[in-house]
Amino acid sequence: GTPASSQPETVTVTIDGQALAVPTGTSIMRAASLGGTAIPKLCATDTLKAYGSCRVCLVEIDGRAGTPASCTTPVADGMIVRTQSERLSKLRRGVMELYASDHPMEALATVEAQTEFREVMDAVGLEEIRYKPQATHLECPQDVSNPYFAFDPAKCIVCSRCVRACDEIQGTFALTLSGRGFQAHVSASQDESFLQSECVSCGACVQACPTGALQEKAVAEIGLPEHSVVTTCAYCGVGCAFKAE
Ligand code: FES
């Protein structure tokens, strides 16, 4: 037979001085959020599998060197975690500054830029961007082939949330990450347009995007609805948002 697991079902972890009992295997980010502490994050969401790419969610752990990503690091019994310190603030601001420096400035300044990306910039206290854009993707053309949404690679930070949403929520696998480093980009199937790709226009990617790189055309044209009603059906489970008058 299979040997019984020696792992306890719950572990106790201390986060910013607060002791919490959480299920074994819980990420530090999730444990913190169960205790009411929101760790800044960009590539993680509450529903998608952790990916650990953006390095915004760094924390300090007693007795451990470095600053691991809290979204991919599981808690361990007796672990003592700090989610806030001078060093962490500096690191998070530094990471966000690099992303922002590679972002179209006008996209950060407009009202429609009330994106999650902008919120995280504010949350980590990033006010000044000292670097010039490095990447060639700022000149990449937009893909407006899909009738419902557009993709602007200039605003993409390659967090892969759209790719994971397509895979994990919709099960369509229409999006991939191609290239490395500054060349890394999201592409629909084999660098086809969204319209030619396997995309079924479910909107899961648009909803997952934290920067507005993927945006509904209606939002780009008439702005964000002041109130909206989300309905879901058996087809996609993502929901359609309607502007409520
Ligand atoms: Fe953890 Fe991005 S949120 S690395």
Say which CATH number the domain at 59 has.
Answer: 3.10.20.740
Check residue 112 and give its pLDDT.
Answer: 58
**Scanning the structure block, which residue is given the tokens 């205790």?**
35
- Interatomic CA distance for residues 242 and 245, integer angstroms: 9
Whether 120 is covered by a domain: the verdict is: yes
Give the three-state DSSP class for 106: helix
Distance in Å, CA 72 to ligand 1 centroid: 8
Distance in Å, CA 11 to ligand 1 centroid: 22
pTM metric for this prediction: 0.83
- Interatomic CA distance for residues 165 and 195, integer angstroms: 18
**Residue 29 alpha carbon, nearest atom of ligand 1:** 1
Which of 56, 59, 116, 211 to probe ligand 1 with, by most ligand atoms within 8 A of CB?
Answer: 56
Whether 1 is covered by a domain: the verdict is: no
- pLDDT (tens digit, 9 = 90+) per residue, 23-46? 999 999 999 999 999 999 999 999
Distance in Å, CA 18 to ligand 1 centroid: 22
Give the three-state DSSP class for 82: strand
Check residue 170 and give its pLDDT.
Answer: 86
If asked whether residues 184 and 235 sit together in one domain, one would say yes
Distance in Å, CA 244 to ligand 1 centroid: 34
Cβ atoms 203, 214 nearer than 8 A? no
Distance in Å, CA 39 to ligand 1 centroid: 9
Using 50 as the pLDDT threshold, list the residues of the chain that sit under it.
1, 244-245
Whether 2 is covered by a domain: the verdict is: no
Whether 89 is covered by a domain: the verdict is: no
Report angle CA 158, 164, 170 to the nearest 5 degrees: 140
If asked whether residues 205 and 235 sit together in one domain, one would say yes
Check residue 245 and give its pLDDT.
Answer: 46
Which residues are bridge partners to 188 per DSSP?
175, 192
Helix residue ranges per DSSP H, 170-235:
204-208, 217-222
**Residue 50 alpha carbon, nearest atom of ligand 1:** 1
Whether 193 is covered by a domain: the verdict is: yes
**Residue 41 alpha carbon, nearest atom of ligand 1:** 3
Q: What share of residues in the chain are helix, strand, coil (percent, to 5)?
A: 30, 20, 55
Cβ atoms 199, 146 nearer than 8 A? yes
- Interface pTM (ipTM) of the complex? 0.99
If asked whether residues 52 and 144 sit together in one domain, one would say no
For residue 145, what are the domain limits? 135-243
If asked whether residues 182 and 108 sit together in one domain, one would say no
| Total number of domains constituting the chain | 3
**Residue 71 alpha carbon, nearest atom of ligand 1:** 1
**Pocket residues for ligand 1 (CB within 6 Å)?**
41-44, 52-57, 69, 71
